């Protein structure tokens, strides 16, 4: 069994919801039968992530994430980063520092290092342009990304190199998305995620932040049983997110399996009442979705 729980469902500037980061859990049997999953994966961990995760540990079924009143980050075995905006990476410094200085490590005992998964270019930029500022020193010496994490670089364009197993039953793959683009060419890298049940071949798509790209994402949208899709509710020229009005142009068969997330604080206004009829609805925070029922 594979479950997905949004820590929050909001966009970068949302105040009524935490930012869109999710916890994926793999279970041999299920959350009713086990006190803790067999494997855990965070997809993104932004600036509101630590507080959102702390809140989640108060919920029935998530107690395993807590130890002595605080989040036990050692329970997070894998972290996948889709891109470098702070609402997706801003919590990583706390996760790394807690593992290094608070949760059972010392100068002589190395910290627990979760696997850190993304495309090669995202991982390289993540350390050099973001994390190094706060994590560049450990116990008085220069530190590297590998001191805190076990990097797992993937290659979205290469089917042989774009994925890894998640327990014996599931596979995780990264796909290239178009979020922030450079006019002069080159790229500002970002990825989405496919979660695949190896036994049945069924898949779930989690887009990460992305512009609307019906043709580029067509195959993954078609194949997916369920699709968690980035959305921006209001139209704006040059948006780096998929506009709700653009997603409405997709065939009904695609829309009906599409759960929208990363939205602004006005999602529950009357203007968006049609979303639950035309799509699978807005994502609900802090409840488990069973991905392959
Ligand atoms: Zn973004």
pLDDT of residue 108: 75
Q: How many A from CA of 91 to the centre of ligand 1?
A: 14
Q: How many A from CA of 83 to the centre of ligand 1?
A: 7
- State which H helix or E strand residue 230 sits in: strand 224-230
Q: How many A from CA of 22 to the centre of ligand 1?
A: 15
d(CA 63, CA 233): 34
pLDDT of residue 150: 98
Encoded tokens for 194: 């496919």
Q: How many A from CA of 42 to the centre of ligand 1?
A: 16
Encoded tokens for 286: 């802090």
Domains of the chain (ranges plus CATH)? 2-290 (3.60.15.10)
The answer to whether 173 touches 197, Cβ cutoff 8 Å, is no
Q: How many A from CA of 208 to the centre of ligand 1?
A: 8
The answer to whether 249 touches 281, Cβ cutoff 8 Å, is no
Q: How many A from CA of 88 to the centre of ligand 1?
A: 7
Q: How many A from CA of 142 to the centre of ligand 1?
A: 29
Q: Which residues of 214-231 are buried (b: 16+ CB within 10 A; e: fewer)?
A: eeebeebbeebebbbbbb
Q: How many A from CA of 68 to the centre of ligand 1?
A: 33
The reported pTM is 0.96
Contacts of 238 (CB under 8 A, 6+ apart): none
Q: How many A from CA of 30 to the centre of ligand 1?
A: 32
Encoded tokens for 113: 């290092």
CA distances from 253 to 225, 226, 289 (A): 11, 11, 20
Q: How many A from CA of 105 to the centre of ligand 1?
A: 33
Furthest-apart CA atoms within the chain: distance in Å: 58
Q: Per residue of the chain (293 residues), give pLDDT as tens.
A: 999 999 999 999 999 999 999 999 999 999 999 999 999 999 999 999 999 999 999 999 999 999 999 999 999 999 999 999 999 999 999 999 999 998 876 777 788 999 999 999 999 999 999 999 999 999 899 999 999 999 999 999 888 899 999 999 999 999 999 999 877 655 789 999 999 999 999 999 999 999 999 888 999 999 999 999 999 999 998 899 999 999 999 999 999 999 999 999 999 999 999 999 999 999 999 999 999 99
Q: How many A from CA of 14 to the centre of ligand 1?
A: 13
pLDDT of residue 103: 86
The Cβ-side half-sphere exposure at 266, using a 13 Å CA radius, reads 6
- Cα–Cα nearest to 23, from 291, 262, 265, 286: 286
The answer to whether 173 touches 152, Cβ cutoff 8 Å, is no
d(CA 18, CA 262): 9
């Amino acid at each position: 069994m594979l479950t997905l729980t949004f820590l929050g469902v909001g966009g970068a500037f949302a105040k009524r919801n935490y930012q869109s980061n999710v916890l994926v859990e793999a279970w041999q049997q299920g959350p009713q039968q086990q006190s803790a999953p067999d494997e855990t994966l965070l997809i993104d961990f932004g600036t509101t992530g630590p507080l959102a995760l702390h809140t989640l540990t108060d919920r029935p079924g998530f107690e395993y994430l807590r130890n002595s009143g605080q989040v036990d980050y050692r329970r997070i075995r894998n972290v996948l980063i889709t891109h470098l905006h702070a609402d997706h990476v801003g919590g990583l410094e706390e996760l790394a520092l807690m593992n290094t200085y608070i949760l059972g490590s010392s100068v002589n005992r190395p910290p627990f290092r979760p696997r850190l998964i993304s495309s090669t270019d995202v991982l390289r930029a993540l350390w050099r342009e973001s994390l190094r500022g706060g994590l560049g020193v450990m116990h008085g010496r220069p530190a590297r990304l590998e001191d805190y994490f076990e990097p797992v670089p993937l290659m979205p364009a290469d089917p042989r190199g774009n994925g890894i197993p998640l327990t014996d039953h599931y596979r995780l793959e990264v796909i290239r998305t178009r979020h922030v683009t450079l006019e002069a060419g080159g790229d500002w890298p970002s990825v989405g995620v496919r979660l695949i049940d190896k036994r049945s071949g069924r898949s779930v798509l989690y887009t990460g932040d992305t512009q609307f790209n019906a043709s580029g994402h067509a195959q993954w949208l078609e194949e997916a049983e369920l699709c968690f899709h980035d959305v921006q509710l209001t139209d704006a020229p040059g948006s780096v997110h998929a506009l709700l009005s653009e997603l409405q142009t997709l065939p009904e068969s695609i829309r009906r399996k599409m759960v929208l997330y990363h939205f602004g604080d006005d999602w529950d206004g009357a203007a968006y009442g049609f979303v639950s009829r035309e799509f699978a609805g807005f994502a609900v925070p802090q409840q488990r979705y069973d991905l392959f029922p």
